A and B are shown apart, each in its own frame.
Chain A
Amino acid sequence: MSKAADIVLVGGSAGSYHLIVDIIESLPPFFSSALVVVIHRNPKFKTRLEDTLSTRLHRPIIQAGDKTAISPNMIYFAMPGYHLLIEPDRTFSLDISDPIQFSRPSIDVLFESAAEVYGSRCTALLLSGANRDGTDGMTAIREMGGKAMVQCPEDAQISTMPENAIRVNDGIDIISDQQIISYFRNLK
């Protein structure tokens, strides 16, 4: 299977669930990037988020599997209970090392490893949450020439996560929920 040249990442925690659903529903039927979503959720509860959305939208939405290719026009979710990383050959890789910022999967871990592999062809969006996961990941993406965007704290249900990312990353793009949806509606 061919591999995507561009990757778009979305990281969310508490209060980001509904916006993530809206984002996925707004996507065009075809886009050439790969979209990877990491959302903090309890591995003990089997949320069938992927299956529910997949049935509703009539398109595959899958958990990113170990050593599988990152393909265009695909929507992946990070599995609960594992960190998700990206290999230089553009495949996914899982890791069960300790949680980071109390989180596994950690947004930082995915963002940092995607930044390294995709460089300027990496775009990331950080959403609502009650901790400080994602901030270091945003820094890494900017350092490697990628594009980093943060949900406007006023729009976020819980603003801690976006606020922290904004405080540490001077001049980072801050976008409203409306802009977020229009960005994904026009995803290439």
Chain B
Amino acid sequence: MAKLSVSHISFIELQEVVDLLRKVSGYDLSGYSKSSLKRRVQRVLDLERMDLFDLKNAITNIESFRGYLVNELTVNVTEMFRDPHYYATLRSEVVPYLETYPSLKFWSAGCSTGEEVYSLAILLKEVGLYDRSFIYGTDINGNVLETARKAIYPLKKFKLYSENYNASSAQDSLSNYYTAMYDAAIINNEIRKNILFSQHNLATDYIFNEFQFISCRNVLIYFDMDLQNRVFRLFYDSLCEFGFLCLGSKETLLNRDIMSNFKVINKEFNIYQKIR
């Protein structure tokens, strides 16, 4: 099958798009991984049947296009209980520390459509901590946050989510936490009550609260080293003493300067604790 693409952009052209977008809007994608960003821009060109000239025109002249573009450029693939053993490790190695706090604040940064946040809420519920917890879910993409707030997902995804849940050493059944309606599943209210979703851009925004626990999974792979370091600094500043930082399975703090302020809790799942 022939490719639909009208034109192929180069890394130089990608840079022009990034520079233009930064100039005319608050969006700064200059710290993003170039190779995947280029694929995403190409995808928008193919989808919209635009060439580079059209794209630049739309960025310059149509304000609403800029937000649309940034939403389309982000990769939002997510799951409930993704990496089940990570959740099992949270239970066994992190929860015992968390139990010593009278109240707890969690931040899921780059939470996409909310599955990670609800997974965390379910885990906290099961270990008896949810009533004294509050979870902030943030993302750059306003559309995914809208979905996260609604907490309605296609029912067909719950086969995988249940498998993940069962593999996470949880005791119950995931079906206790949602209600199926036709081909949709809605997360139950008891799981949704202590959660706030809001927009936050890790590349340009600042600290907004102090947390005992921050998870940022599968977001940093989209950033270059410099931007990753900025975000690590932001997390460090946002954590209370002995607070936890959890990254994706392929995202590590090892070999970074800031590592000297953390200790490794679990190497396989990249769970760290702030120690100084």
Chain A residues 13 to 67 lying within 8 A of chain B, measured CB to CB, are: 65-67
Contact A95 B34 (CB under 8 A): no
B3, B10, B35, B75: the one within 8 Å of A93 (CB): B35
Question: Is A86 an interface residue, CB under 8 A from the partner?
Answer: yes
Contact B75 A96 (CB under 8 A): yes
Q: How far apart sit A54 and B252, CA to CA, in the bound complex (Å)?
A: 22
Question: Is B228 an interface residue, CB under 8 A from the partner?
Answer: yes
Question: Is A187 an interface residue, CB under 8 A from the partner?
Answer: no
B250: chain A residues at CB < 8 Å are 65-66, 79, 82, 94
Q: Which residue of A lies closest to B32 (CB)?
A: A93
A136: chain B residues at CB < 8 Å are 3
Nearest chain A CB to B78's CB is how many angstroms away? 9
Nearest chain B CB to A137's CB is how many angstroms away? 12
Q: Which residue of B lies closest to A84 (CB)?
A: B35
Number of chain A interface residues as a range: 20 to 34
A65-B250, A82-B250 given; A95·B224 CB < 8 A: no
Question: Is A113 an interface residue, CB under 8 A from the partner?
Answer: yes
Q: Which residue of A lies closest to B74 (CB)?
A: A97
Q: Which residue of A lies closest to B84 (CB)?
A: A44
A93-B221, A94-B221, A96-B218 given; A86·B35 CB < 8 A: yes
Q: Mark A85-119, 1 if CB is under 8 A from B, else 0.
A: 11110000111111000000000010001001100
Contact B225 A95 (CB under 8 A): no
Contact A113 B35 (CB under 8 A): yes
A86: chain B residues at CB < 8 Å are 35
Q: Mark B140-181, 1 if CB is under 8 A from A, else 0.
A: 000000000000000000000000000000000000000000
Contact B35 A85 (CB under 8 A): yes
Q: Mark A145-169, 1 if CB is under 8 A from B, else 0.
A: 0000000000000000000000000
Chain B residues 239 to 259 lying within 8 A of chain A, measured CB to CB, are: 250-252
Q: How far apart sit A98 and B75, CA to CA, in the bound complex (Å)?
A: 9
Contact B221 A66 (CB under 8 A): yes
Known: A67-B33, A85-B36, A87-B34. 8 other contacts (CB 8 A): A67-B225, A67-B228, A79-B250, A83-B36, A85-B33, A88-B35, A95-B39, A116-B35
Q: Can you name 29 A-B residue pairings with CB atoms under 8 Å?
A: A65-B250, A66-B221, A66-B250, A66-B251, A67-B224, A67-B228, A82-B250, A83-B36, A85-B35, A85-B39, A87-B33, A87-B34, A87-B35, A87-B224, A88-B11, A88-B34, A93-B35, A93-B221, A94-B221, A95-B36, A95-B39, A95-B221, A96-B75, A96-B77, A96-B221, A97-B36, A97-B77, A116-B10, A117-B35
